[in-house]
Amino acid sequence: MKKRVVIGMSGGVDSSVAALILKQKGYEVIGLFMRNWDSSLNRDILGNPTLNASICPQEQDYQDALKVCEKLDIPLHRVDFIEEYWRDVFRYFIEEYEKGRTPNPDIMCNKYIKFSAFKDHAKTFNPDYIAMGHYARVVHGPVAKLLRGIDANKDQTYFLSQLTHEQLSNVLFPIGDLMKSEVRTLALNHNLPTAKKKDSTGICFIGEREFNQFLNNYLPAKVGEISTLEGDILGQHSGLMHYTIGQRKGLGIGGSEKYGNEPWFVVGKDLDLNRLYVGQGFHHSELYSDHCILEAINVIDPNRNLDQLKCTAKFRYRQKDQAVTIAVENNEVHVYFDQPVRAVTPGQACVFYLGEECLGGGTIKTVTKNQRILPY
């Protein structure tokens, strides 16, 4: 009998081609479209409706997914995870900004929605596997291994780093062995309706909208001072939540006789004073750190010992691998960098790799330089 696969259909080209590949390999394929955000209204942090509705193009995505499934002759079902998304992803997103940190909701979406709520719902169809259109690979065995996607520019293991080996045990990533250009070519050659659809950008529930305006619906913006580390006041910020470490855009600081025209970058925040610290130059010394402490640790292989492990790490999605040593000290996971790293930011993920294998990771809690906690 054919093996049955339930695949997450997003209405994009990646999941479309993933479904095509599964069909070509002889699987019985069932499509499942997730609706994670109630686009008819916004809600504040208490869950109360607001009038500032921000429309996410989910309905168009669903129609695109439906056209692809009709083309491939596979059924498509639809499921709402709005409450789960609000509880497990969006509240985390808001609470992190309240702490002055920079969250990564895509990681939480994978952990709690795509590979938890989705998998639970998929059991209704009694599948052998579930599948997603991620650029990643899985090696199945006694303990599942997560490997980088072949296309280094599209690899999504950074966003999958909070998954457990149990969550990965029956997962397929059909396009993980392909380059993005090959995915597009397959879609065009098979006349898939999404072949020329552009990739989605930004956070899924926000869509391609003005981010700061969206965030202001949920957190009151508190105007404050922009200051150098020496205490010179250079201007006003529009709310600390709108800035992240290493940011250049949106500061509104021009050249001056005292400081010249070298660009300014965010180098720190003080929540108590509601103050944003800036420094000049992309390589400002305060942007570099040599150590961080993590929380919310996830190790994909539960038998792996992290203590004194030499590996590489990514502190941001697009960042190159950085050589590090992991140490477990006083029940905390510390990461020591072989070379100083720029703009390591609390709230972001630190993800570990041994070659092609993603080991897991954690959330950056504290960042230090020469044993001094940086003002993040």
pLDDT digits (tens, 9 = 90+) for 291-337: 999 999 999 999 999 999 999 999 999 899 999 999 999 999 999 99
Encoded amino acid at 204, one letter: C
Q: How far apart are CA 82 and CA 80, in angstroms?
A: 6
100 contacts 269 by C-beta, under 8 angstroms = yes
Q: Which two tokens stand for residue 327?
A: 């140490």
Q: Which residues, listed in sequence order, are joined to residue 75 by a DSSP beta bridge?
A: none
Catalytic-labelled residue, pool 56, 69, 109, 350: 109
Q: Which two tokens stand for residue 48?
A: 């109360």
CA nearest 241: which of 213, 280, 203, 201?
Answer: 213
CB atoms within 10 A of CB 78: 13
Higher confidence at residue 250 or residue 204?
A: 250
Q: How far apart are CA 115 and CA 96, in angstroms?
A: 22
Catalytic-labelled residue, pool 204, 292, 311, 358: 204
CA nearest 110: which of 152, 151, 81?
Answer: 81
CA nearest 130: which of 170, 180, 176?
Answer: 170
Instruction: Give pLDDT, residue 42.
Output: 53
Q: Which helix (H) or strand (E) holds 60?
A: helix 58-72
Respond yes or no: is residue 358 known to be catalytic. Answer: no
Q: Which two tokens stand for residue 115?
A: 């590979």
pLDDT digits (tens, 9 = 90+) for 345-369: 999 999 999 999 999 999 999 999 9
Q: How confident is the model at residue 209 (pLDDT cuts 50, 70, 90)?
A: low
Q: How confident is the model at residue 36 (pLDDT cuts 50, 70, 90)?
A: confident
- Tell me, rounded to whole angstroms, the distance of Cα 113 from its chain centroid: 13
Instruction: Give pLDDT, residue 45.
Output: 46
Return the SS3 of 25.
coil
Instruction: Give pLDDT, residue 239.
Output: 93
Q: How confident is the model at residue 76 (pLDDT cuts 50, 70, 90)?
A: very high
Q: How far apart are CA 127 and CA 7, in angstroms?
A: 10
6 contacts 76 by C-beta, under 8 angstroms = no
Q: Which residues, listed in sequence order, are joined to residue 224 by a DSSP beta bridge?
A: 237
Respond yes or no: is residue 204 known to be catalytic. Answer: yes
Instruction: Give pLDDT, residue 255.
Output: 80
**What percent of the chain has pLDDT above 90?**
83
Q: Which residue ranges form the domains of the chain, and what is each CATH number?
A: 4-212 (3.40.50.620), 221-280 (2.30.30.280), 286-373 (2.40.30.10)
CA nearest 332: which of 292, 302, 301?
Answer: 292
